[in-house]
Amino acid sequence: MQGLWRRAAVIGLALGLAACGRGGVDAKRIEAADGSEWLTYGRTYDEQRFSPLSQVNTDTVSKLGVAWWAEVDTDRGQEATPLIADGVLYTTTAWSKVYAFDAKTGKPLWNYDPKVPGEAGFNACCDVVNRGAAIWKGRIYVGTLDGRLIALDAKTGAVAWDVQTTDKTRPYTITGAPRVVKGKVLIGNGGAEYGVRGYVSAYDADSGKLAWRFYTTPNPKGSPDNAASDKVFRDKASATWSDGVWKESGGGGTVWDAITYDPKLDLLFVGVGNGNPWNHKLRSGGKGDNLFLSSIVALRPETGEYVWHYQTTPGESWDYTATQHIMLADLKIAGVDRRVVMQAPKNGFFYVLDARTGALISAEKFVPVDWAEKVDLKTGRPVEAAFARYNGGQVSTQMSGALGGHNWQPMAFSPKTGLVYIPAQHGHGFYADPAEFKFIPGAWNTGMLRVAGGPSAKAPAARPGMFPAKGELIAWDPVTQTKRWSVAFPQMWTSGVLATDGGLVFHAVNNAFTAYDAAKGAPLWSYDTGARAIAPAATYAIDGEQYVALMVGNGGAGGKDQPRQRGRLLVFKLGGAVTPPAYPAPVTPAKLDLSLATPSKGDADKGSATYNLFCGTCHGAGPYLPNLATSPAILDPDGFKAIVLDGALKANGMAPFRRYFGDAEAEDLRAFLLWQAAQTPAPTPAAPTHAQ
């Protein structure tokens, strides 16, 4: 009991300190963060997502219940980490909207809708999500799906400035959270599957004026950009690219998630994504490492000047991004105190690098991986398996796949246990050269064989032993590079993680939000959120009470296997006794009555190829977006064309496809979907609610 009182006193003291700093959030306040607030995406600049709060702990967590909750107006994916400052909780939702609540009571204070056009959803590979805002000196900063960076008054939500950070003629999106360092707002973007050139930008927090930009791939015209990246491309990076499709596509390399700052070394670390096309043979003639794809790049925050880089996957050819969470820590390794950067990127190796120099300290597999035997610590390069580059017309079925051994869901590090908690994924991917490839601006341009699923299709055989995919929460010792404990789940796509000084690790699988003992992995408490949660939780304290906040709402690249529900924000505290209403049961689409269909004279095999190129990525994986083989829209050719070609549903994100194909191809597509509908078994009828 004494311990609890002492903890309460510490929280009270912390609140007193925070109250002194009400001049607005700045670096001093972020670095001195005591746990009562959550002031940047990963809580503090090191992005450890570890809270020093301990009122909710291994002894008390069983009393955790909902203190207040709110529902938002979208049922797309919710990936945001809430921020808490000066008693206000700020969060973002799908479609880049911002909400402010009284963090103690849940009273709504304001909300802001940047009015992203629905069509912008077409450019998003992985849902219309947003991972959060930044706060700095009385303003909230948010990136929008249509490529803007917006500054809002933190008290009112009024727009202070709104700048376009991308070329609107290219399929760029922003889903990541901005970070503010030394008065500059840092923001990247996404779009590497479609064909863009990646970069990270710094904008002046006061004025919204561009301060610097660092490109991650060379200028396709061969000319300088007048950007911070010019020198390093001239000196060494351009020479790592050969002739290929990158000159049309921009090469990819988007900075769509990790941006981490080290105030001790005054370095910024950005995570760079995969190439466009994925296929290295098409992108760069199979030649060269293609800097800075799949790399961690260290930059000077004031100028964007290059300092060092480490490339996890040279000559990237599998969507093995290194955009995943970058975390800083002080570790004692082989008796030496090291300041390290840690990352668990898609390729399945856990990397520990020297933060000052980028030197590789260690790299080991944290999930089953067979595309590379190991990482050679002398050269820093992976030792690739012979089959991995799918040469000579071969298909490579390899681990990991494009969803990665770890995706955007943030990890957490507890300095108390010395463990990194990774929401890991076991999975595999098929990789093969296409029979032919033509870059189509704005379309899915990965340069992979896409297996048509039409009447004449033959699918490549999977190698045994790779199924099923699964998820695993891993407590990883970054010093010994070994697993300390783990919990496995049938679901691959789980939530981000929070660790606390209360000895807890918070993580959600589907709608089970669970607190584990951080040292041993035993589940201590679980709460049914009613819908799948994928976001990481945040925690804060007000008036001596600790709160845990979680955004609920399924979505993202791996969320397509489950239906959608309205996004919710759930905020917990000890003794919380509020019960949010149950969600409505998801509606199972009925089997189409094909006797009502206008028969099609289209070619279903050709339609299958069109489906694979343009439709399958979003519509093919499950109930998240409509299964087209159950859509009444395919019954009638005119209605079908109005939606597919002319954008009748563009406000929902269904952009018009007439820029890619015409009436004949649309009818082939409809023929394929009618064929598919005829193969689709009737859904299991719901149990009757009363006797007839």
> Catalytic residues, which ones?
319
464 cis-preceded (ω within 30 degrees of 0): no
For residue 595, the one-letter residue type is S
Q: Quick one: 299 or 557, whose CB is closer to Ca ion?
A: 557
d(CA 485, CA 265): 32
Q: Quick one: 446 or 608, whose CB is closer to Ca ion?
A: 446
Which is nearest to 417 in space by CA: 59, 42, 50? 50
In the numeric block, the tokens 């390069």 are attached to 381
Residues 6 or more apart whose Cβ sits within 8 Å of residue 89: 82, 83, 100, 101, 102, 103, 540, 549, 569, 571
What SS3 string covers 76-137? CCCCCCCEEECCEEEEEEHHHEEEEEECCCCCEEEEECCCCCHHHHHHCCCCCCCCCCEEEC
CB of 254 to Ca ion, least distance (A): 8
H-type helices in 209-278, by residue range? 230-232, 246-249
Q: 645 with 658: CB under 8 angstroms? A: yes
Q: Quick one: 272 or 411, whose CB is closer to Ca ion?
A: 272
Q: 233 with 222: CB under 8 angstroms? A: no
Q: Quick one: 274 or 612, whose CB is closer to Ca ion?
A: 274
CB of 570 to Ca ion, least distance (A): 30
Q: Quick one: 262 or 319, whose CB is closer to Ca ion?
A: 319
Q: What percent of the chain is helix, strand and coil (3-state, nearest 5)?
A: 15, 30, 55
CB of 278 to Ca ion, least distance (A): 8
**Residues in contact with Ca ion by the rule CB under 5 A:** 274, 319
Q: Quick one: 99 or 194, whose CB is closer to Ca ion?
A: 194
Q: 63 with 569: CB under 8 angstroms? A: no
Cα distances (Å, whole numbers) of residue 342 to 258, 260, 303, 325: 11, 11, 24, 8
CB of 108 to Ca ion, least distance (A): 35
CB of 193 to Ca ion, least distance (A): 5
Phi, psi of 210 (to 5 degrees): -65, 125
Q: Quick one: 273 or 410, whose CB is closer to Ca ion?
A: 273
Cα distances (Å, whole numbers) of residue 194 to 53, 173, 256, 282, 617: 43, 11, 14, 14, 12
